[in-house]
Structure 1
């Protein structure tokens, strides 16, 4: 008589127990649904366009988040001996890098609270610009917290289904949009292959239009609206994470894998 099979059954493919699975350090996204992530990403991209338009006007042609432009300005300045342009480009790049570095460290040490914490950091940077502008600092100094905030924002969200969320540059988004449209015209893809990228581009452009319009009315203080919105999103996400965190054993959710 054959012995009974008492081996542990194979887990069902795709099944998981979120109560015992450790969440990777620096990631809150497993606890927040993809629709919420996409919504947050669209709003953040609109904010990027908003503050970039304000920075563009204030800086006379330089963008707060477009470090390719700052790098070109630096390179051209070196070649022509325009050291003021070299200095401005170098400072923008250094501050942007400082923002991304700080956000990466903060996300790593805050575990499942990474997304709210990093967004709060971004909101604080944007608020810093409003404070500097309101206390009489010139645009060249007041814009620096915005540059840091844009560096922070690029670290916030991971792609969802191949769609880059929350980024502050549109070149990659437009490339993905063009590829999606090409595949759709060839009959190899449908609406979902290109529409998310089109939505992000529209959000960025709409944000830029809003930023330029409000700059006319409020000047640099228009950045304070973006700061308040980002801080509000951070609070809402923290409120979403809190009840889900209680499903984890004590300390388990903050372990790294």
Structure 2
């Protein structure tokens, strides 16, 4: 089982990802900043139909998500366990600031939301894996499979009886974040991204205040 404090942090990060992703989904007219499975199937459909603007957009979203994950993972490795989470969270905040700055400058959504896709890729490197649940991710397809797998194993008595619920909580946090993000967008438009950015800022402050002690070799 994943310890409760770490699980709570992961749930909050996943909710923030859902909040931001639904805003990107609305701004992009049905494309995603963090759900690359959906973008990939849309890319295949667009390529088959010769719909090149859609193909370009979805390929760019997938590519930027990938580059964001590479950059954040490399940054976490370079910063080490003492500063890794702080550095990656800072990178995510930079992506939000750049996204909003470009939006305020009048750049169209199919351009400024690409930065948010890179930030979504980066978010997945904020928290290291702890316990059985992948924490703070921006996607839940694998999480739903793991919930089903753990439930089946629990019914056979070979897994903790309630561990599958931790996976379902991750899914529910993304759903709740998406719901709140849609409401926020209805009230404030793209400015609602400031809410998610505030969550990441809170994480950054917490990481800086409570960073792990320096390892003495």
TM-score (norm 2): 0.91
Structure 1 residues 95-144: Cα deviation after superposition (integer angstroms, max 9, x where no partner): 11121111122112111200111011112211221222222222112211
Query: Does 2:120 align with 1:159?
Result: no
Q: Distance in 1 between matches of 2:67 and 2:168?
A: 30
Aligned runs of 1:1-257 on 2, under 5 Å? 34-111=3-80, 112-241=82-211, 244-245=213-214, 248-249=215-216, 252=217
Q: Distance in 1 between matches of 2:143 and 2:32?
A: 18
Offset at residue 182 of structure 1 (A): 2.3
Q: Distance in 2 between matches of 1:189 and 1:89?
A: 39
**Radius of gyration: which is bigger?**
1
Please give the secondary structure, in 2, of the residue aligned with 1:143.
helix
Offset at residue 188 of structure 1 (A): 4.1
Q: Distance in 1 between matches of 2:38 and 2:26?
A: 14
Alpha-carbon RMSD: 1.8
Offset at residue 178 of structure 1 (A): 1.3
Q: Distance in 1 between matches of 2:211 and 2:110?
A: 38
Q: Distance in 2 between matches of 1:106 and 1:72?
A: 30
Q: Distance in 2 between matches of 1:63 and 1:75?
A: 15
Q: Are the equivalent residues in 2 in contact too, given 1:134–1:221 (CA < 8 A)? A: no
Q: Distance in 2 between matches of 1:180 and 1:113?
A: 33
Q: Are the equivalent residues in 1 in contact too, given 2:42–2:58 (CA < 8 A)? A: yes
The number of equivalent residue pairs is 215
Q: Distance in 1 between matches of 2:151 and 2:73?
A: 34
Greater percentage in helix: 2
Please give the secondary structure, in 1, of the residue aligned with 2:162.
helix
Please give the secondary structure, in 2, of the residue aligned with 1:164.
coil
Deviates more, 1:180-189 or 1:192-201: 180-189
Please give the secondary structure, in 2, of the residue aligned with 1:76.
helix
TM-score (norm 1): 0.78
Q: Are the equivalent residues in 1 in contact too, given 2:19–2:179 (CA < 8 A)? A: yes
Please give the secondary structure, in 1, of the residue aligned with 2:133.
coil
Please give the secondary structure, in 2, of the residue aligned with 1:62.
coil
Q: Distance in 2 between matches of 1:116 and 1:191?
A: 35
Structure 1 residues 3-32: Cα deviation after superposition (integer angstroms, max 9, x where no partner): xxxxxxxxxxxxxxxxxxxxxxxxxxxxxx
